[in-house]
Amino acid sequence: MDGERMIWIGYTTHYREGSDKFARAASTLRDDLARRHPKQRVVVEPLRHKADFVAAMQRVEEAGQRLEKLHFIGHSGMYGIMFGTRSWPEQLSPHEWRSLRIPFAAGASAHFHACRSARWFAPFFARTFGVRAFGHQGYTTVSTRPDRFSFEGLRFGRGGPLYLISVPGRKTHGLSGAVCKYALSPRAIPMRACEPERVSNTGYDAVAEHYDRAFTDIRVRGDEWRWLCQKLERAFPRAERAPRVLDLGCGNGALLQALAERIELGVGVDVSNAMIERARSHVTGHALRFETISGPNLPFADRSFDLVTSFLSFRYLDWDPILCEIRRVLSPGGRLLIVDMVEKPLGWADARLAVRSFVNHQRRRRREPRFTRDIQALTTHAAWRRMLEHNPIRADHEVRWYLESRFPGRRVETLNVSRRARLVAFDSGALEPGIPLPMSFP
């Protein structure tokens, strides 16, 4: 039986700047909703960590209540709402969201008042929980009016209503964004509604054949391959030892195949059955094996590997849970090597690297015409586009903030750039076992 129906509002308190204004925006929203729904209880809760959100949902359910509306006010990354601080960012991973119970009432809705929350997260949330979800397609800003941007000015003390709205333009901050916002006082863009429709075939199974054809030899990815080989040689010199390697998101197994003569053991894991079948079909007697997994738990004993790699797949992994597992399966002195693509537009600081990347790209087109044709066939395939829509690449700052906070003193490197994206790499350095990362959830 449906319990008491309520409206719940949460806001972040420590992630990036503006959290004091989020509290005011949450109070404004509470007052507005209380006027519009006088017979319903409206609750506002501050959230510092993602564990706070999980605990809040558990309290609602244990009290026998049901959510008519869920509102979140704060910041958002590509994969959802952000908690913690900029120095220790937290997100519930897709796996964690799917395993989380939220006591929604029949006909409930969820509203995410945060930057870009409608691009991927709100549709994902709607599908996962079967409720209508709302989010902002663009960036958000605080305003004293709900219908258009209005600057509150320099006030002594804090008071008056505040709203989190989205306005036209690529950004609401930075020089150009600020000029447009303050000079034009643009109208607010309504939140986008995302329906809980079901989708299928949004993973790599549908593109396994095309992917395998394009990346039969992973060494066509020259910058990434060279970086990985240099790190491998420095950490595990050929004359001393051959490492045991675990490749997360191994795809068609091309990376381990290329490393086969250089390693003692190679194990690849992936969620795609079709990709694992491709990988197994390429094994030719080397000490390689490939397994399908689901979720972030790794079916291996403690200290089973000397090196864990994630080659163009880290964006898809459940970061907090998988990092705990990586630390568990690594041997003393083992390390994590990551190469992945991130989203970030070109800037003036990228000029020299952009020229070099362009020259290398043109050289590869001439030297590898078959790869050029195959990669074009892959990236223009309808199934590939559908897969990217439901599995987007992360923003550059998300990856940097996350990895550099989990591994203090280590830095993300940029290998090459394009107009809208770039390839980055990360070396964790030698890690000691038995030191679990202090994750807040689960």
CA distances from 203 to 321, 392, 416 (A): 20, 11, 26
Query: pTM for the whole thing?
Result: 0.89
Instruction: Look up residue 358 and give its DSSP letter.
Output: H
Residue 140, phi then psi, degrees to nearest 5:
-110, 165
Task: Please report how many Cα atoms fall inside a 13 Å half-sphere around the Cα of residue 247, on the Cβ side.
Answer: 29
* pLDDT of res. 171: 59
* Class for the domain spanning 4-194: alpha beta
DSSP string covering 50-117: HHHHHHHHHHHHHTTEEEEEEEEES-EETTEE-EE-SSSEE---HHHHHH----EEEEEEEEEESTTT
Residue 375, phi then psi, degrees to nearest 5:
-70, -35
Per-residue confidence of the chain (442 residues) as pLDDT tens digits? Answer: 467 999 999 999 998 877 789 999 999 999 999 999 999 999 999 999 999 999 999 999 999 999 999 999 999 988 899 999 988 999 998 889 999 999 999 999 999 999 999 999 999 999 999 999 999 998 898 899 999 988 887 554 557 899 999 988 665 555 666 667 777 778 999 999 999 987 776 789 999 999 999 999 999 988 999 999 999 999 999 878 899 999 999 999 999 999 999 999 999 999 999 999 999 999 987 799 999 998 889 999 999 999 999 999 999 888 888 998 999 999 999 999 999 999 998 888 888 999 988 888 888 888 888 888 988 999 999 989 888 888 888 999 999 999 999 999 999 999 999 988 999 999 999 998 666 666 667 6
DSSP, collapsed to helix, strand or coil, labels residue 136 as: coil
Q: Tokens representing 417?
A: 């750039």
Q: Which of 410, 404, 416, 415 is nearest to 430 (CA)?
A: 410
Domain residue spans of the chain: 4-194, 204-427
CA distances from 151 to 17, 224, 325 (A): 17, 46, 47
Q: Which of 287, 323, 290, 291 is nearest to 308 (CA)?
A: 323
Q: Which of 256, 171, 224 is nearest to 424 (CA)?
A: 224
* pLDDT of res. 179: 67
Would 4-194 and 204-427 be classified into the same CATH topology? yes
Cβ atoms of residues 293 and 273 within 8 Å: no
The tokens 């129906």 sit on which residue?
A: 5
* pLDDT of res. 156: 47
CATH 3.40.50.720 fits 204-427, yes or no: no
* pLDDT of res. 116: 92
Cβ atoms of residues 273 and 208 within 8 Å: no
The number of helix segments (H) and strand segments (E) in the chain equals: 14, 19
Q: Is 420 left (phi over 0), alpha (psi -120 to 50) or beta?
A: alpha
b vs e for 98-122, b when ≥16 Cβ sit within 10 Å of the residue's Cβ?
eebebbbbeebbbbbbbbbbbbbbb
* pLDDT of res. 173: 59
